[in-house]
Structure 1
């Protein structure tokens, strides 16, 4: 394969190497300079270690006030991952960036194995893995794994990938366990359970069979996947009951929003103003969220006076097809049963989040909520392997564009916000 590359392909690989090294250096720098006392999962870990459901502090805006105590509203599993760090160093611990890097590397390893199972051409695999590492929201959440929102995603994504990997390789119990852990990071992951069963059934077997042996076998698959997932759900309900006395209360209804204007600007912060006027979920958010998901471009901001000096980047992010244009290859997916179910997951997740008060804000050159459906999209691209191989030079160019935008992003942020 090495000897068959054209000069153009070698140039693209060289550019990918240079851009990749630059982005790896940024990840390394962020890891070495990680600030302490910024990740609320340290507080969840502390609550587990001390056996008290409330938190001893609040590191960010998403804290709940309930019966005079402070609570962290986020799902618990990333807090379990943080327990060794907190046990050693207390709630001011660092080390979340290292866990984030491990999550990114594990994700790449698992997707390499999944692409192998689909018999995808090696050159195409290389570019898709580069895209996942450096031209997708996975890079951004890895870069900010010291924050609670991003840490949940960088832990949840490899767990969701592991669930798909184990189902593809026929290990349904471990697939169910991985999915049970993933939903304790990102609750919507539970909707991948039917996809695991569909993978177990296989691409050619009839979806419904009346043969007793097949019915019994498939019921066994349902149990292998479903029991671990049910245990994960039960654990989440128990966690909620432990904190708030109600298994269905996540704590979001008790979040304290300070609606007072910022003393410096005189304005109420954007998300706070939205919740004040429209609530957490509303159709009022659809236009903004849809625009940023689908069409918003890469937006560098300039000073108001002469528009000559760069002041930063749009913190609402960049649309998925502008920041990660390689996902346009989803249009080439053959319409098989697995692809249709993956598309249903993508459409369902994306549509639901259009009504949410935040699109992932603050974020730069990404839409990080697509990580919830990116595994389904990657499965669709695996099904489109022949088209990807046919147009692999185009794929490479689109990946390089996404990488270049991320290099520009971190450069602008370093110059305007600071390292």
Structure 2
């Protein structure tokens, strides 16, 4: 796997991709992301009930002057009517449903890599808790429903917490922070018989000059199903960069396949953190980019942007097949064009110069991706044998989420590395 540390002179994106953020109250790497204020009246965090009795976290931003995306009634708890489910809401509000759309930030430090946000129900309440990957650290309480109802419920943020928006080079991104300055952060201790009315207060994180740390695997993986995965480190780095996310049950599902539209979304989100990329994708489109991609589909605007910028192309019959699993060969084709786009923004041109010796796969001779696989194998080892062993690439096999995350990360690392 490609794990080489990049030089200090590299831009902030490469530093963050390779940095391993230390836990709270220890030396931390500087985030490439900033944050901006949001009108709090336009934001809401919602506990979404599931049939299992668990809850998912939903964050919604209301666009000013547009149709209301929710309404509230009652108190303790406040019941939420999710009006956005009754219409196509993309012009009226923004919705985030997982860690790709929200994370925690304290005292200016992005802690999305160290803490997983989860909903914890009890007999009388639902709490929004940030759980550390390092179990020696305390969990942090962010908000509560202040009661229970068999319905959507508003999560009330504790004093000192607010919603902010992630920014990159002062440009707003579609990612929200639960942000605090650290002065009133409530830690949840694991000891019993503790008075819940007087929880301890966590000392704000110590912010030291930024350092670059060669990534090391924490003793506890971020997701419950990647401890023995060969791509574990790159999965965790990819989630931190923000172009892929895990699931609400704290799994990553590394061996599941990836659809073509999901890969397009990953490629675009990875390009957004490349310096000077200038990637701005509209939230909606008025025309369908392909006959089988309706203009109202969640991925339509991203597919349209990728089509216009030569990141993707459809099949010979004119279709795109957005829900079809993407093959490993198709993954390379999209990542090659992603790398070309990224290099152009760096002033390097579109030629993908070899960074290492190419690999000769025994099963690509005569395949349309034969030359492509050699090119991408020499480009920071984006193309590697199946499961990183043997000499077969399996070009027509559906790409799994773990390899797709690793290959996308390697592509962006290579594109921003010094020539």
TM-score (norm 2): 0.30
Structure number with higher relative contact order (C-alpha < 8 Å, ≥ 6 residues apart): 1
Larger proportion of helix: 1
TM-score (norm 1): 0.30
